[in-house]
Amino acid sequence: MPPPDQLVLQVPTQTLLEGDTVTLRCRCRQGNPVSSVFFYHEEKELVEFQNGTELFLSHLQLHHSGRYRCRGWVNSRVAQGWEDSAPVTVTVHAPLLHVFYRDGQVVGVPQGSPQLLVPAVGVSHSGNYSCEVRSEGGAVQKSSAWLRITVRMPVANATITLSPLAHQVRAGDPVTLRCSVQVGSAPVTFAWRHNGQEVAQGPLLELGDVNVGHSGTYQCVAANQLDSHQALSPELVLTVTSQGHMDTVVAGIRWALLFLVLLVGVIVAWHRWHRVAARKHQERPSPEPLATPEEGEILYTHVVSTKQAQRENSGGGGGQ
């Protein structure tokens, strides 16, 4: 009886199906160390899947079926040299049906393909997935572990809401900007730009009591860290008008200048009227002087009777 082979190629006893992963191990029966191991499939040397004394075969396909053996250098107490294992047959079975589950519910219908294709992935497709391999009679041959899949949506359609709603406000008014997105999985981060420069982060930008320096363009940048994609809101133009002490002074100066202009106009008009009146007075013809009375002509006669005067005097005296 020939001595047993020094090397043994170990293969799992489980049924191997398409898509499985299997590890083949080359070992010495007596536990002696083995080095420089080579693996062969149908007498063709395999090198790309080898790692020391193990051979990894992942995503098995039907063409992986066949005879495998290994060869290695064995160091024993008795002798050392190259040894070969006996061939081992590996069979990859093609399952008939694959059944997929999401959160315990069957997804689609049982199919022959080991892949589940989802044409357009959405947030609703998130959940715990598993699959089963069934035989022709419907008996379950294998069940996978649960796999958690979370679908996230990139952010889109960022908008800015202004409080108060007017885009032109007065200095000293409280102003708050709010950024929001219509589409996007949480968590969403926000950043604010003022005239192209980042000034703050968060969904709210509270400017407080604004001044003229707050005027300019504001834009919100939203992202949810899924990728490098960002959602930019339309630019919002904010105008802050000053209403402080300087405006009052300027308004007073304007009224004073207007009053001075009106006063100068009145004075100029009065002077013009006075000149016109004086000119008309000078141009008016002078009245002719009274003619010198000729000799013997009486201009005014006031004759008082001497007797009447005496009577009045005597009457007045008698009264005393």
How high is the mean pLDDT of the chain? 80
Dihedral sign from CA coordinates of 5, 8, 14, 17: negative
Q: Which of 42-56, 255-269, 276-290 has the lowest mean pLDDT?
A: 276-290
Strands 50-51 and 54-57: antiparallel
**Proportion of the chain above pLDDT 70, given as a percent:** 79
Give dist(CA 36, CA 72) in Å, integer. 5
What's residue 278's pLDDT?
Answer: 76
Same domain as 73, residue 30: yes
Same domain as 223, residue 199: yes
For residue 209, how many C-alpha atoms fall within 13 Å in the half-sphere facing its CB?
4
Residue 62 belongs to domain with CATH number: 2.60.40.10
Which residue has better confidence, 177 or 225? Answer: 177
**Proportion of the chain above pLDDT 90, given as a percent:** 28
Give dist(CA 28, CA 307) in Å, integer. 191
What's residue 15's pLDDT?
Answer: 82
Same domain as 215, residue 164: yes
Same domain as 74, residue 17: yes
Same domain as 102, residue 89: no
Domain assignment of residue 20, yes or no: yes
Same domain as 236, residue 166: yes
- pTM value is 0.39
> What total number of domains does the chain contain?
3
**What domain range is 167 assigned to?**
156-241
Domain assignment of residue 53, yes or no: yes
Helices (H), the chain: 245-283, 306-319
Domain boundary among 192, 226, 241: 241
